Amino acid sequence: MICSPGNPTGTLINKSDIKKILECEYYKGVVVVDEAYIDFCNDDASISTLVLDYPNLIITQTLSKAFGLAAIRLGFTISSTEIASIFNATKAPYNISTLTSQLAITALEQGLQVMRNNVGLIKSERAKLMKLVLDLPYVSKLLGNHDANFILAQIVNKDGKVDNELAYFVYKKLAESDEIVIRFRGNELGCLGCLRITVGTGEENAQLIDKLKSILE
């Protein structure tokens, strides 16, 4: 299972690295690449066309992220016909609802440009947010590659040491007092002291920075 871009690192995995795994002579199993956040990357970032060359590759995507349609609950796979046949043969007999299906088709046809425009806005807000977050006291650095619609900030204490408790305190205070919910990711491997912040609108980001500043100060 490979998540590309990763969550919570936001790092797009190199196509050549995934190919190495697909071609590994010791591993003959299925390789699943979760591309839930792929629409926030460049147009050629998805490795979905590799399913034509690698029958053991399964790509998963969702309309929940860049399309903003989490409420319709639609995810899908891109795979070789062999794998697709296995899915069709083993899944529950019920399909997704007609309403979900109609909304998904509309999103993928007329909605494509809307999605691209929104992604463009999110990317430019992401760049601004990264600078503002890095300027906050007690934020030492951003981790990962920021290829998705969130950033991962590491919190340190006044001695400059990574501080998981302080990160958790900030997360909790922000949610309870200011009703802004970011994600505490300090319990995940390699993410000590980390907060994952989803990029919002300019106005939302400005509010977040204000609140974060007052909590940290």
Phi, psi of 48 (to 5 degrees): -60, -30
Per the document, the length of the chain is 217
> Does 7 help bind ligand PLP (rule: CB under 6 A)?
yes
C-alpha 10, offset from chain centre: 6
Binding mask 38-67 for ligand PLP (x = CB under 6 A): ------------------------x-x---
Give one DSSP letter per residue of 79-114, joined into a string. E-HHHHHHHHHHS-S----HHHHHHHHHHHTTTHHH
> Does 9 help bind ligand PLP (rule: CB under 6 A)?
no
> Does 71 help bind ligand PLP (rule: CB under 6 A)?
no
Is 22 in contact with 156 (CB distance < 8 Å)? no
> Does 70 help bind ligand PLP (rule: CB under 6 A)?
yes
> Does 34 help bind ligand PLP (rule: CB under 6 A)?
yes
Nearer to ligand PLP, 166 or 196 (CB): 196
* Bridging pattern class, strands 57-62 and 75-79: antiparallel
Work out how close the CB of 187 gets to ligand PLP at its nearest, in angstroms, rounded to a whole number.
16
Using CB under 6 A, list all residues that contact ligand PLP: 3, 7, 34, 36, 62, 64, 70, 75
